[in-house]
Structure 1
Amino acid sequence: MRLHQLVIDSARRAPDAPAVRSSQGVFSYRELDDLANRYAAALHRRGVRPGDRVVLWTHKTLDAIALMQGALRIGAIYAPVSANNPAARVERIAAGCSPALVVTDADGIRRAAGGAWDDSVPLASFAEVREEAPAKAAPPPYESGPDEPAYILYTSGSTGEPKGVCISHRNALSFVNWAVEEVGVTADDRLSNHAPFNFDLSVFDLYATFLAGASVVLVPEGLAYDPTQLGALIRREKITVWYSVPSALVLMMQRGGLLADEPPPSLRVCLFAGEAFPIHQVHELRTAWPDVRMLNWYGPTETNVCTSYEVTDRDLGSTRPLPIGTAVSGDRIRIHPPREREGEIVVSGPTVMLGYWGEEPQKGAYHTGDIGRMGPDGMLEYVGRRDHMVKVRGHRIELGDIETVVAANPKVAAAACVVVGGGLDAKIHAVVVAAGPKGPGLLELKRECADRLPLYMVVDAVHVVPELPLTDNGKTDRHALLKQLTDVGSR
């Protein structure tokens, strides 16, 4: 089985079943299959061949999905890039993967024309490509090997240059096959697609849908963090499986009235991944939605989902961080150094990426850079990022440990910690979003930190803000947060 075979098979089984629901309308598997063949024919006519790269600089649309499928059908490798990216960043990505073609929408064409777009990077609109060949001109689907690259997801590298995570058919399907069975996805389901296509959460949204013959609801980028509209969409579109970063759920809970009414009648599974979910808000959601399955998934882009933990009533009395659980998708998890209770999370198995595009292939296990520890029940807990390890007055500190304590305060809806200053002047600042009309005071947080942490990890300052800055993928943007605090301090 290959990724592009999923739509082909579902179109054969149930051609009139809805495949994609979006602001453009509802499209059947027959329509998606025909459009994918049309793009495959057009790309082939343009000279795109197996192994070539096709960059998609676009909003989330039916055409974007069909072009991904068309690229796969001729053996090409697609690289989705959100329309929110400026032309300069798209050019840097193109410089890294040397695509045969960059396909964008009308807005992308306009933005490229308004800048200094490199003419050596081939650029075309969806409309141009779509009209170049009929679907019947598509060549037979390419027989990809399971370990051939299927797509590249670009993430921010530590050097500031985008890094392309290269994923094979085997990598993706090892996760998707497990996930469909675990969640019990069927043709009757409607899955949400909250994440942008360049974010690995979208792999489940799209390919679990296509494997099961279900339908996927594309959440427009403009609604992604509009809490009222998101809550309404879940009900209006009769979503049965929701998947997002916890920040989106917290936003809906705090500002969108998500829990003000009865649980959405169609919703049966709520999945979340990408960042830690504050434990008292997990309790709140679980209490309000007792009949909705809740799964906490973990895994960096380089591995997709490699561990899973199901939230149940037994978690309601816990004050510990929500576990990330045990290994899934055929993967194996270990802590490094070995025989330590806490250390770096290391993943090996079928979901581990082929490597970063343009660099040496990945060999052996992947060292995630995430710190984990084994909880008292044998479940893995996420502690934080290795690169969030800081030094304050000679002590090495993992900021995730402090954030866990701060986020456990019932007055806190969301929290992040940063260190401002250096040397003897380094201070730990807690930045929180209040869960009610008033956030916690500094003395209150100091007491709670002192009860659970060494004295050198007690916060020095607290700031209550309307919201935490987020990256395009919906995670807390620590760099923006630190800049906000330092800018304020310099005034």
Structure 2
Amino acid sequence: MDILTTFEQHASFYPDQAAIKYNDEILTYKELELFSNTLAKTIEDASKPLLLYGHMSPFMVVGMLASMKAGCGYVPVDTSLPEDRIASIINKVEPQYIFNTTSESLSLASSDEIFPTSLHHMPTVEHYEAYIESEDIAYIIFTSGSTGEPKGVQIKYSSLNEFADWVVELNQTGEHQQWLNQAPFSFDLSVMAIYPCLLSAGTLNLVDKNMINKPKLLNELLERNDINVWVSTPSFLEMCLLLPHFDEQKYSQLKQFYFCGEIFAHKTATILNNKFPHATIYNTYGPTEATVAITSIQITKDIIDKYNPLPVGVPKNGTTLDVTEEGELVITGNCVSAGYFKDEDRSKKVFQDNEHSRSYYTGDKAVQKDGLWFIQGRIDYQIKLNGYRIELEEIEFQLRHMDKIREAIVVPVYNKDKVSKIIGVVTLTQETSQNFDINALSHEIKEQLKQYVPVYMIPSKFKVIDQMPMTVNGKVDRKKIAEVTTT
């Protein structure tokens, strides 16, 4: 299916159906089509990507569709980003147009700024012939770079179409469903919700960043809209599992879950499967550089009983996986990014053109077993302590496996650029958190760890927190945990 062609058909067949919902803001399929046509006409002379600025406004999706129709593609920038990061992205992209979905002008650029209110005063464009070709860039998402300079990952329109089709094929709930999107639009997990939802004539329900740490607000959203399809990080789900009555009995319409962006912990999957025994649960894996996700597996009770850690499944059609001698996962296929925007040096380090294909070296360690792929952590999460090489994620895995621990992160503490010790930061199960002694608990954890890892891999101390802090993307915020732990 072609996203723009299919969307135009849906706007014709289901003009009054809600396409995007955010609190009390709603855009129907017809409104989304007309607004995006009007904006596309306004920016059709653009030779640079459209910069989309805002948070969860439905007009962010207007900008996405308009930019692809105009053939220039888009760069989503969330309001939660620091000002210097926004400035860095603007300086690199040099956009001719900024579609600003907030109420305040963005003073960091000299580009032409267009607001949603402007579209109401422009001549309505009933039909617009899309300019975008399959090899054109549909979007550029900036991710954190190891040098501090964000990397702009360029994704082709053909890659986006291929990905969206695949997610629609996985979806077992059919058309006209209520989809939940947790991720901000500057995080590519949102792509997993936006386009499959629109391709299947669904309604996209947007989760505000305020809801990420306020379960009560999320509970209101879930009660207000009968959500059928859920797209989020595992960390966001963990928070929701603490809600009272977050189960199939209360949310009987919730039939499908997609998870991506982080490790889907065995314990979390077990709880979810128990609470929603009739739902379809997918664990997926993929880096931004390979168009969101490239593997999937349905997490059933049989899979939970057989594997710990859980597999990420098998690659989608047209994508092949391999590992280097060091165990680094290499992804090959049309899903692979066109490279980093205006950054040839960094592109050459991780992207490779073969005779008829393109590959991406992920930096993730992986192994194949029973025909399924398993991700074994990041190559760069390896540290050296007292001469020993230590995999932090191996310790975290063993900690999460313990009965009293809900979630765990292991933090290295540096002294003059050298790791001097490691600290375990944990959240506890509800029963344990009611009454515990930190010294007795730390001793118990260390004794249990001794059964699974060498003594040099046991954290020197443990810190208990109520809830893992999350980034605005809904992932565990390792940086914040490290700051709190080591200061």
TM-score scaled by structure 1? Answer: 0.90
Q: Secondary structure at the match of 1:387?
A: helix
Q: CA deviation at 1:455?
A: 2.7
Separation in 2, partners of 1:41, 1:191:
29
The equivalences for 1:60-75 within 5 A come to 60-75=56-71
**Deviation readout 1:120-157 (Å, 9 max, x if unpaired):** x3152414642563222875321x22111011111111
**Deviation readout 1:354-413 (Å, 9 max, x if unpaired):** 1111123643311111112234x3422222111111111111111111111111112222
Query: What are the ranges of 5 or more consecutive residues in structure 1 without an aligned counterpart?
Result: none
Aligned partner of 2:405: which letter? V
Distance 1:139 1:314, change over 3 A: closer
Distance 1:135 1:425, change over 3 A: closer
2:59–2:116 contact (8 Å) kept in structure 1: no
Corresponding position: 1:89 with 2:77: no
Q: CA deviation at 1:425?
A: 6.9
Separation in 2, partners of 1:293, 1:309:
10
Separation in 1, partners of 2:472, 2:206:
16
Separation in 2, partners of 1:458, 1:374:
28
Distance 1:131 1:87, change over 3 A: farther
Distance 1:6 1:358, change over 3 A: farther
Distance 1:253 1:433, change over 3 A: same
Separation in 2, partners of 1:319, 1:202:
28
Aligned partner of 1:18: which letter? A
1:393–1:424 contact (8 Å) kept in structure 2: no
Distance 1:444 1:205, change over 3 A: same
Q: Secondary structure at the match of 1:88?
A: helix
The match for 2:334 is 350
**Deviation readout 1:221-278 (Å, 9 max, x if unpaired):** 2223322332342343111110100111111112x22536725111110111111122
Aligned partner of 2:283: which letter? N
Deviates more, 1:167-176 or 1:423-432: 423-432
Query: Which of the residues 117, 122, 147 maps onto 2:111?
Result: 122
Separation in 2, partners of 1:223, 1:145:
37
Separation in 1, partners of 2:419, 2:361:
33
Separation in 1, partners of 2:161, 2:173:
15
2:248–2:275 contact (8 Å) kept in structure 1: no
Runs of 4+ in 1 over 6 A off after TM superposition: none
Deviates more, 1:207-216 or 1:181-190: 181-190
Q: CA deviation at 1:98?
A: 1.4
Corresponding position: 1:16 with 2:16: yes
Distance 1:258 1:42, change over 3 A: farther
Separation in 1, partners of 2:61, 2:405:
39
Distance 1:59 1:133, change over 3 A: same
Q: Secondary structure at the match of 1:302?
A: helix
Number of equivalences: 469
The match for 2:286 is 299
Distance 1:421 1:87, change over 3 A: closer
Q: CA deviation at 1:185?
A: 5.2
Distance 1:466 1:209, change over 3 A: same
Deviates more, 1:222-231 or 1:381-390: 222-231
Separation in 2, partners of 1:19, 1:145:
25
Query: Which of the residues 190, 198, 213 maps onto 2:201?
Result: 213
Distance 1:23 1:482, change over 3 A: same
Identity of aligned residues (%): 29
Separation in 2, partners of 1:166, 1:247:
26
Separation in 2, partners of 1:349, 1:424:
39
TM-score scaled by structure 2? Answer: 0.90
Aligned partner of 2:189: which letter? L
2:236–2:475 contact (8 Å) kept in structure 1: no
The match for 1:28 is 28
Query: Which of the residues 209, 223, 226 maps onto 2:214?
Result: 226
The equivalences for 1:385-464 within 5 A come to 385-422=378-415, 426-438=420-432, 441-464=441-464
Distance 1:464 1:14, change over 3 A: same
Separation in 2, partners of 1:129, 1:430:
52
Distance 1:242 1:258, change over 3 A: farther
Aligned partner of 1:269: which letter? Q
1:41–1:133 contact (8 Å) kept in structure 2: no
Distance 1:213 1:463, change over 3 A: same
The match for 2:244 is 257
Corresponding position: 1:281 with 2:268: yes
Distance 1:332 1:85, change over 3 A: same
Q: CA deviation at 1:4?
A: 2.7
1:419–1:427 contact (8 Å) kept in structure 2: yes
Q: CA deviation at 1:446?
A: 1.6
**Deviation readout 1:93-116 (Å, 9 max, x if unpaired):** 01111111222244441xx45xxx
